[in-house]
Chains A and B, each alone.
Chain A
Amino acid sequence: MTRKALLISPEACIGCRGCQIACKEWNQLPATKTINKGTVENPPDLNANLYNKIRYVELPSEANMVRWLFVSQRCMHCEDAGCMKICPAPGALYKTKEGAVAFNKDKCIGCKLCAAGCPFNVPRFDEKDKISKCHLCSDRITEGLSPACAKTCPTGAIQYGDRDGIISDSKKPGYEKLYGQADLGGLGVLYAFKDAPKLYGLDEKPAIPESIVFWHNVLKPLAYIGLGGAVAASLLHYVAFGPKKDEEVKKDE
């Protein structure tokens, strides 16, 4: 199965938030009580019942009163996913054949380590401490449908398709390089940015925390080798030098 991806084009987005609503409807997520903080960005952050939200960025502009950037914020479905790397519960997070990082709340043990492993601050937790996040509508895409957000978007700001196809189709003047094309083994959500990623609220070079990489590559094998080595060294010593039998122990006279 070829890897699927979303292409997000903030320049095409009109900030209607249809994608937020479609996501909630499909995933049967209740509304979140929120307050007006003087911005249309609402709710202010992702939460257990909000898998996908539009970030509103206001920038000074010469042509208009302001320049508004609308950025869909959600799980990036990383190829090399920090959340999966650190998760101690098998099956809690898993890759679908389309390349989506989906979750199984029954297998999740609620340790919240994935929140520390994710470079994009995505995982949120429900009232039972179980993981909640965008799963690329894994139940829809497995049937060949597109995710609810992409299906609903009236302007094509969210497009869904084969990852390779999306990348080659997106090569337009001004958008030569997609955000997420190579980072973390390639993201499953690609962004056609006109300006530097940090303007849109994303890291230039997203990475899994170094301590997790070190733990995964060094400490994990070391625990195994250390235990085996200690047992092996003990047996080896027993064979080579033997026990300190009582009659052999000499007193320091």
Chain B
Amino acid sequence: MSNMVRKASVFEILNHWSLAVSFFILTVSGFGFLYHIEGVGSIFGGFNQMKTIHNWAGVVFSVSLFFTLFSYIVEALSISGDDIAWIFKGGGYFSKKTVVPPQGKLNTGQKLYYLTVLIAGIAITATGLVIWLRPEMADIRKWILLSHLVHNISFVFMVIAIPLHIYLATLANPGTVRIMFYGTVPVEWARKRHPKWVQKIGA
């Protein structure tokens, strides 16, 4: 359709699905380990197999997370006065009357969300690898304890950030979730929510 603009490439769509599915597997199995949930263990074919699946889902997650750098990091780090103003207006989420400052391809909330997931994702990957591979080194016990702690702190950030992300991309902002399937949005929709981006690409 001529009145549509492409916000996500096919690669970005697939990569996002890879993140979503691996995150889901990691979280469910993670809670299984955390709370000794036998039912979750049996879904995965026992705790032994759940460990293997958890570890390899972590590999998929971290590789996909790496690829997101090419899509979002430059945009996420370009912070301007509009972003500060956006935060003070609560992103327009707390009153229908609020008019938020014009946003680029990612709005301020999306930038902050991306940076949170990126940092927590790097931390959870690095510490997960230490626990999994147990590199031969002096003081390995201290490193395992530190990794175990950081892995779980990152997990807390993840399980708070991601449900909010899902809500904001579905119920809270009708018309958004189609990006995850088609990658395109109506120009008018984009003009309202990402005017600086639409201007930049000259759509």
Instruction: List residues of chain A with CB under 8 Å of any chain B CB.
Output: 86, 88-90, 92, 107, 109-113, 115-116, 121, 209, 211-212, 214-215, 219-220, 222-224, 226-227, 229-231, 233-234, 237-238, 241-246, 248-252
A223 partner, pick from B134, B159, B162, B189, beta carbons under 8 A:
B159
Chain B residues with Cβ below 8 Å from A113 are 131, 144, 148
- Encode B122-153 as 1/0 by CB contact (under 8 A) with A: 00000000010010000001001110110011
Distance of A90 Cα from B134 Cα, bound (Å): 22
Chain B residues with Cβ below 8 Å from A233 are 164
Q: Is the CB of B94 within 8 A of A252?
A: no
Known: A219-B153, A252-B102. A243 touches B174 (CB 8 A): yes
Residue B69, interface by CB 8 Å: no
Chain A residues with Cβ below 8 Å from B102 are 252
Distance of A241 Cα from B167 Cα, bound (Å): 13
Q: Say how far B177's CB is from chain A's closest CB, in angstroms.
A: 12
Name which residue of chain B comes closest to A245, CB basis.
Answer: B174
Name which residue of chain A comes closest to B189, CB basis.
Answer: A246
Chain A residues with Cβ below 8 Å from B35 are 220, 224
Supplied contacts A215-B149, A219-B156, A226-B159, 7 more A-B pairs, CB within 8 Å: A89-B36, A113-B144, A116-B141, A227-B159, A244-B172, A249-B92, A249-B192
Residue B183, interface by CB 8 Å: no
Name the residue among A86, A214, A244 with the largest chain B CB count within 10 angstroms: A244
A211 partner, pick from B41, B145, B160, beta carbons under 8 A:
B145
Q: Is the CB of B160 within 8 A of A229?
A: yes
Known: A109-B51, A219-B156, A230-B160. A249 touches B34 (CB 8 A): no
Q: Is the CB of B145 within 8 A of A246?
A: no
Interface size on B, residues (CB 8 A): 50
A250 partner, pick from B33, B99, B175, beta carbons under 8 A:
B99
Chain B residues with Cβ below 8 Å from A222 are 156
Q: Is the CB of B41 within 8 A of A248?
A: no
Distance of A231 Cα from B172 Cα, bound (Å): 13
6 closest Cβ pairs, A-B complex: A234-B167, A88-B33, A90-B36, A230-B163, A227-B159, A116-B144
Distance of A239 Cα from B69 Cα, bound (Å): 35
B34 partner, pick from A88, A116, A209, beta carbons under 8 A:
A88
Q: Is the CB of B47 within 8 A of A89?
A: yes
Distance of A88 Cα from B148 Cα, bound (Å): 11
Name the residue among A92, A224, A245, A249 with the largest chain B CB count within 10 angstroms: A249
Residues facing A in B22-68 (CB within 8 A) are 30-31, 33-36, 38, 41, 47-48, 50-51
Chain A residues with Cβ below 8 Å from B164 are 230, 233-234
Chain A residues with Cβ below 8 Å from B141 are 115-116, 121
